[in-house]
Chain A
Amino acid sequence: MLSTENKKEIGIFCIVAGLLMLIPSLNAWGPDTGAASVSSFQVSLWGKYLTYAILAMSLNLLWGYTGLLCLCQSLFFALGGYAMGMYLMLQIGTRGAYKSELPDFMVFLGYQELPMHWKPFYSFFFASGAVLWVPGLVALIFGFLAFRSRIKGVYFSILTQALTYAVCLLFFRNDFTFGGNNGFTDFKDILGFTLNDASTTRWLFVASAILLLLTYLITSGILASKFGKVQQAIRDSENRVLFSGYSTTSYKLVIFTVSAMIAGAAGALYVPQVGGINPSAMEAAKSLEVVVWVAVGGRGTKWGPVIGAILVNLLKSYTTQAFPDYWLIIMGSLFVVVVLFMPDGIVGVYKQLKSRIAQKRSLETSAA
């Protein structure tokens, strides 16, 4: 039978799923004006937030549950985005500014024909596969090298940041065949559906919502399994796990790769909803932002990263409009405050308050 804990979790899961479905439903069948109206712009905006939330969850899997502060999550996100972007670029066909079969930037840079590695991306299925295996492979190779030489803690963070930095430089190059500075943009349609259509926007949102729920299920599944127990044990004391006879390297490698694939899938959904991708999406600062979402929401909690990603991004879009000169200062101060005073994030505030009140009470009773 299910325990109360499990029942509570299933309940929350259903509520979140219901809330998520509310947005596209209101957009499709809701009123055009008033408080209950949801425009297509808002649908795609929230779709973007959902992909961010998935990205935050993938990092949480690493940082929250394995203790690996990875600063290349935005790189995996962007790699997935680029893989999907390649498919979308090829879908433009001859409707580009240069009326050529080749993507615009290739014509502009003087390419005669499509480079070999672009050709398979005409197929949606190949592209969706690449969304997973490209970031996965990068994570596998890099993780193997890093974990094998026992790089951990802060050094792992620094190395992942340097990896992001190096690949980002690579993508900024024009001759890297991925559009250089400008990246990909001007997408027209996906699987034959026009991207600007309200219904396409809705379906992309639904896909993001499903991926989010799926990621939640994967996380819960891993955590409940024996694998997840080892994983959390690595976070708490890697040496003890090592001495108990577990190869921490392979555990870390698996979780690193899985997390990279989830991030890649999030990136693939992000690109059609935002309408473009360029190398600045994989800048080192973006990875740090993801870390901040997780920290604000609550590291090592299942819904914390989702809450963090959405709240921070809402705050960001509000402050950039309301205080264009001061928004960085506001956000920066927020991080400082969160790290100093809310080590468990927003989700942890309730617990923090409860324990503080309990402490006070016990003091009072002992005094009495």
Chain B
Amino acid sequence: MNTLFSSFFSRSFCYCLTYLLCGLFCSVTLHGQERTAREVLADLVLSSDDEQEALIEELSNYGDPVIATLYEAWRTGGVYTLKKGEELLLLHFTDQQEWTSLATGEVIALTEEEASNVEKERASRAVRKALKGIIDTLGLKADDPLERIDSAIKMGQSQKPEFVEPLKARLEVEADAKVKGAIREALAISLLKNGEPSEVLGAVNELTEIKSIPARGFLDKILEAEVTAGEGEGELARATRKALVTIEEHIKRLEFFGSFFRGFSTGSVLLIVSFGLAITFGLMGIINMAHGEFVAIGGYVTFLVQTFFINTWGLSSEAFGWYFVISLPVSFLVAAFIGLLMEKSIIRFLYRRPLESLLCTWGISMVMQQGFRLIFGAANVQVNNPTWLMGNLSYAGFNMSYTRLLIMGIALVVVVLTWLLLRKTSLGLHIRAVMQNRGMASSLGIPVARVNSMTFALGCGLAAIGGCILSQIGNVGPSMGQQYIVDSFMVVVIGSVGNLLGAGLSAMGIGLVDQLLQPSLGPVMGKITVFFVIILFLQWRPGGLFPTRSRSLDD
């Protein structure tokens, strides 16, 4: 038990939690200082006035959150002394109504008599004031860089004059570049209010340089003050204006890149889903209205694989993180198999009747949707993100979630693999031959029936990979594929039917246009606009991006 917990001690916030919950464990911190914060604090409580200054100075090097807890206890009368023979015990009465040793944090069992003999220790006014400064800047010295950044930002935003010095001091010793940046920003924001006039100007320039978004409000205030003071054209006002414009531009650029990034990831999902459709519809002439249900199969298979992993290895195990990787091929195979069955039993009768394939597959999609409802329930099922997919990759103030990056990666892999399959394998050669001329291919000895089954299975499998990916960014439910089906059909039409490169480009294009329009028009109007753009585009290029050239009249 003890060793288990001590592994957490390296992270001070965990330590803090452990302390508050249990109050059991001795305070071993990995600061490298010889004494723990508790020991210094214990000395401070028992020290005489002339020692205090040195001890407070020593204490200010610590970032241990226990200082805050103990200080609060000391201030409100939770620290006691007890004479036990020769020994003087310094005790802390915790929130859990337990007596602990202040210097070590160990629980001490007191007899009733001992408990009635304890004496309250009070902090003097001067000590309280000095300690308050330490406690407020405690976060700056925390072990976790994120916590340091957090605390620096808070200190900056509060604009309290007493934080200027600690921030300056920390800036000099801070090693982490990110934390350093945050402290610089915080310091500059704080100086806007607390600095000398020259310092204010410096701070404004600094904020311009780092394009600080949180500083906007404070800069606005400065500008307002300058204008009311009749200094609207002064040096400071000009600098502030410049800063505001720079920051504003920076925000716009970030938003633009954000839409771009989202556009690419939306396009990637669309690409994977519509690639399957481009294969069944473009290459085979089958309008598979049940394509969306194959997307849902992908989602549900991911759910089942996840459940299997949870039942076998548990939710918090290392193995659980791998479920998503495993579910990609599994969902592909399951959907491809179901697609194969469907082709063998129904679709193969419809190759000459494309419009009727639409009706028939719609019937199948109704059956499948209701099937999902009967098996998994009408509500969405819960699919968790593996831990390694949580979080963001930040670059220059711009966040990209790992999930979306992974989606783009998978889309790229899918494109490359499909291309290789169609261009470099004999199955691909057969598929292309059948697509170009079914009758001729058949008379040259290509097993058309088998090629058809394989192609259809491939298309369905790709849809399921799309569903597998969607499970990470959206809901998994019986009608999850429906919302993508209309878009996917548009992608195939725009990209010229049967042309995978076209499908890829148009998926990215539609994804981008959709996301770039959304901020100004809202999601619904954005979608409607995209649709009308598509109609107009088809006026200009009726055959899509890369129309098939053919001598056949009815192509």
Q: Which residues of A contact B (CB under 8 A)?
A: 69, 142, 145-146, 148-151, 153-155, 157-159, 161-163, 165-166, 169-170, 172-173, 239, 284, 288, 291-292, 295, 325-326, 328-329, 331-336, 339-340, 343
Contacts and interface: CB of A to CB of B under 8 A. Distances in A.
B535 A159 contact: yes
Interface size class of B (residues with CB under 8 A): 35 or more
A329 B493 contact: no
19 contacts: A145-B539, A151-B538, A155-B493, A161-B489, A162-B534, A163-B535, A166-B527, A170-B524, A172-B524, A239-B554, A326-B370, A328-B367, A329-B366, A329-B367, A331-B363, A333-B367, A336-B364, A339-B350, A339-B360
Interface in B274-329: 281, 285, 287, 289
B367 A332 contact: yes
B359 A292 contact: yes
A161 B486 contact: yes
Nearest to B523: A169
A153 B354 contact: yes
A63 to B, nearest CB: 8
A247 B157 CA distance: 72
A341 to B, nearest CB: 9
Contacts of A331: 363, 366
A339 B359 contact: yes
B369 interface: yes
The prevalent SS among residues of A at the interface is: helix
Given A158-B490, A166-B532, A149 B362 contact: no
Contact of A325 (B354, B374, B486): B374
A239 B555 CA distance: 11
Interface string B373-389: 01000000000000000
A148 B539 contact: yes
Given A159-B535, A165-B531, A239-B554, A333 B363 contact: yes
A244 to B, nearest CB: 14
B393 interface: no
A146 B536 CA distance: 9
B358 interface: yes
Interface string B490-529: 1001000100000000000000000000000000100110
A154 B281 CA distance: 10
Contacts of B371: 329
Nearest to B483: A165
A162 B363 contact: no
Contact of B527 (A157, A161, A169, A292): A169
A291 B356 CA distance: 10
Given A154-B287, A331-B363, A335-B360, A159 B538 contact: yes
A154 B370 contact: no
B351 to A, nearest CB: 13
B365 interface: yes
B20 interface: no
Contacts of B528: 166, 169-170
Given A69-B355, A239-B554, A335 B531 contact: no
Given A161-B489, A336-B346, A340-B349, A149 B539 contact: yes
B173 interface: no
A165 B486 CA distance: 8
A249 B334 CA distance: 45
Q: Which of A173, A325, A340 has the most CB of B within 10 A?
A: A340
Given A158-B287, A158-B493, 4 more contacts: A69-B355, A169-B528, A288-B359, A332-B367
A145 B358 contact: no
B374 A162 contact: no
B542 interface: yes
B444 interface: no
Max chain A CB contacts within 10 Å: which of B285, B354, B367, B553? B367
A173 B524 contact: yes
B308 to A, nearest CB: 27
Contacts of A165: 486, 531
Contact of A154 (B354, B374, B532, B536): B354
Contacts of B490: 158, 162
B489 A340 contact: no
Contacts of B542: 149-151
Contacts of A153: 354-355
Interface string B28-40: 0000000000000
Contacts of A329: 366-367, 370-371
A118 to B, nearest CB: 21
